[in-house]
Amino acid sequence: MASSVDTGSGLADDPKLYAVLGLAGVGVFASTLVSPALPGMASAFDLTEARVGMVMTAFFLTAVVAIPIVGSLTDALGRRRVFLTSLVVYGLAGVAIAFVDSFAVIILLRAIQGCAFPGLLPMSITLIGDLYEGRAATTAQGFLTSITGLVGVASPLLAGALVDVSWRLPFALYGLSFVAFVLCYVWLPEPESAPANGSSAAAASGVPSLSRVLELVREVAAALTREMRIVIVGVGVLFLVRYALFTFVPLYAVTVLGTSEFVGGLAVAVLGLGRLLAAPTAGRLVGRVGRRAVLVGSLLLFGAGTAALLLTRDPVLVLIILGIASIGDGLFDPVANDAVTAAAAPDVRGRVVSVLEVGKTGAISVSPVAFGVLLSASSYSVLFLTGTVVLALTAVVVGLVLDGGP
């Protein structure tokens, strides 16, 4: 059984939660430490913008492939050996980038990091489902979303200061993976509900055979209910629009609003505020109005904020609108995570979360390309309107499919 109470009142005193948050926090570094270093890297290796972008592509493409594989391994072998190994591989590959003089090797190291990524941020979602239940689980998912928001705001600022000295310095921060390793090694034992503590033959037999892997895939397909599938689709849509705003709002601020690049960067930071400030309240809100109302309302709020960008070109108002819209993002993510993990049995939870994370990572990978093509053929107004319509339609579908329970 998950070790929690429905109110979640003891979370602040639970060291396991801090270990899980540390695991998630270093996972956020996957992109936030790298983006500020790309201009300096391009200059050092004489690369075009398209080619230096391979640093991001190499990571996310391998992550998309690795997520379901690692998710199956966590259900077959248990959580602890996977997340500890992932922290070491991820940290070593990241730190090594600071010392290499070959762009091809950098791409290889980023691909290795992508393979390790599923054992970090996606794993943290699974672990919360293993460790907590009821309102405590939703609240813990809220803390998880909040810490990813905090790291997402703070780490690019720190990396941006370091690249003024050298583009290599931000990669040294991947050494924090080893701090997270110590926290997880000391405070995070194998969850009691995880498969490795059960009677699973696969957990005791080492690496699963091909037939067992196929069986694991069939099991997760059977475990995905209609409600879970709809929530996962909703997550994918939200991330699709969210990362379109992350990518193009800074350009919109500079080219259309006539602001400085600093204001464009500030817009990205404001988009992360909802995850930092609103996410921890998600558990209490679900307790008051129910999960369906929060999911539908948060999608509509994010959509309304996207639509409101059509109404003004005042930079201050744009920042305020983005801040309000970010509340919808901050509430939706933890509630959706909890809806999926709570509905999944422990022996398939890792694989179910891997499906959720493939949806997120796939949306992140596709969003800049899809909305970039749309923007090149139309305008920012069409981009914002498209995001609004997609979010509104998704909110309607989520409202029709999900029941009104807590």
Q: What is the pLDDT of residues 221-261, one digit of tens each?
A: 888 889 999 999 999 999 999 988 877 887 788 788 988 76
Stated pTM of the model: 0.75
Give the amino acid at 359: G
Residue with tokens 């998950």: 2
φ, ψ of residue 154 to 5 degrees: the values are: -80, -40
- pLDDT of 267 strictly over 90: no
For the chain, give the mean pLDDT. Answer: 86
List, for residues 145-168, the tens digit of each pLDDT value: 889 888 877 887 788 788 888 999
What is d(CA 33, CA 254) in angstroms, rounded to the nearest whole number? 23
What is d(CA 110, CA 104) in angstroms, rounded to the nearest whole number? 10
Structure tokens of 384? 């914002």
For residue 4, the model assigns a pLDDT of 46
The torsion region of residue 190 among left (phi > 0), alpha (psi -120 to 50) and beta comes to beta
**Structural domains of the chain sorted by starting position, each given as residue range(s) with its CATH number in brackets:** 9-193 (1.20.1250.20), 225-406 (1.20.1250.20)
List, for residues 67-76, the tens digit of each pLDDT value: 888 887 887 7
